[in-house]
Amino acid sequence: MNQVVLRTEGLTKTFAGFTAVNKLNLNVRRGSVHALIGPNGAGKTTVFNLLTNFLAPTRGKIFFNDRDITGMAPAEVARHGLVRSFQISAVFPGLSVLDNIRIALQRPSGLATQCWRSDRILGRLDERCSQLIESVGLANFRTATAGELPYGRKRALELATTLALEPEVLLLDEPMAGMGREDIQRIASLITSVAKGRTVVMVEHNLSVVADICERVTVLQRGEILAEGTYSEVSTNPQVREAYMGV
């Protein structure tokens, strides 16, 4: 199996003549937790929107498991296993944690639609519900109303609803945004545990989290790769220190 699960070739996006992403060749290794970092305006969000086809590239291609997914509808991209969390996942605030996860499991490509003919479907659904709830640390919140969960727990529920789609590659857009220190630690260890057996690509501003949980880091600047490597490699790169960290 190819070591690279997701890659872009010459990916370019211009907005009215302004180049936000410029000939990007990104390679994401299978099984890694890969961070995309860079100063504001570097093009990180645009890259995420391109990877999930929420934006069409001006030029270039995107390959997922060697399949050209450029121009594929976002829902189809998700069905192939490349799923974005923390922005598109819907949590129903008036429903319980349990019901939110049940609904997520019954989305197209969720467990229920994969085996709806099976007599054991309800048992399997309940079992998978419990696994998901436990995997994101919400076992004590099963019957809690989603809208009343503390912020960090709500993000954990969003993550569980995304995991219900069984993503092979999970894209996380600033998963720690707006969180206090305790929640950051909890979500960071959650990401490490959900990353087992899958690939995670995340945009993250919190560099100590990146240092702790990401094996690979791509630093973007003006839509181009400024540096790539482990966190200790990129953080000691003089160009990165100058451009990004201001030292």
Residues at the contact surface with ligand ADP, assessed by CB under 6 A: 15, 18, 20, 38, 40-46
CB closer to ligand ADP, 20 vs 165 = 20
Closest CB to ligand ADP among 85 and 100? 85
Residue nearer to ligand ADP on the CB measure, 42 or 184: 42
- Nearer to ligand ADP by Cβ, of 87 and 192: the residue is 87
Minimum distance of ligand ADP from residue 213's CB (angstroms): 20
Shortest Å distance, C-beta 15 to ligand ADP: 3
- Of the pair 66, 242, the CB lying nearest ligand ADP is at 242
CB 25, min distance to ligand ADP, A: 17
Minimum Å distance from CB 19 to ligand ADP? 8
- Bridge partners, residue 27, by sequence: 7
* 3-state SS string for the chain: CCCEEEEEEEEEEEECCEEEEEEECCEEECCCEEEEECCCCCCHHHHHHHHCCCCCCCEEEEEECCEECCCCCHHHHHHCCEEEECCCCCCCCCCEHHHHHHHHHCCCCCHHHHCCCCCCHHHHHHHHHHHHHHHCCCHHHCCCEHHHCCHHHHHHHHHHHHHCCCCCEEEEECCCCCCCHHHHHHHHHHHHHHCCCCEEEEECCCHHHHHHHCCEEEEEECCEEEEEECHHHHHCCHHHHHHHHCC
15 versus 151: smaller Cβ distance to ligand ADP: 15
CB 17, min distance to ligand ADP, A: 10
39 sits in the region (left: phi over 0; alpha: psi -120 to 50; else beta) called: beta
Distance of CA 42 to the CA centre of its chain: 18
Q: How far is the CB of 47 from ligand ADP (least distance, A)?
A: 7
Our CB check for ligand ADP shows the closer of 49 and 109 to be 49
Q: How many CB atoms lie within 10 A of CB 224?
A: 16
CB of 119 to ligand ADP, least distance (A): 48
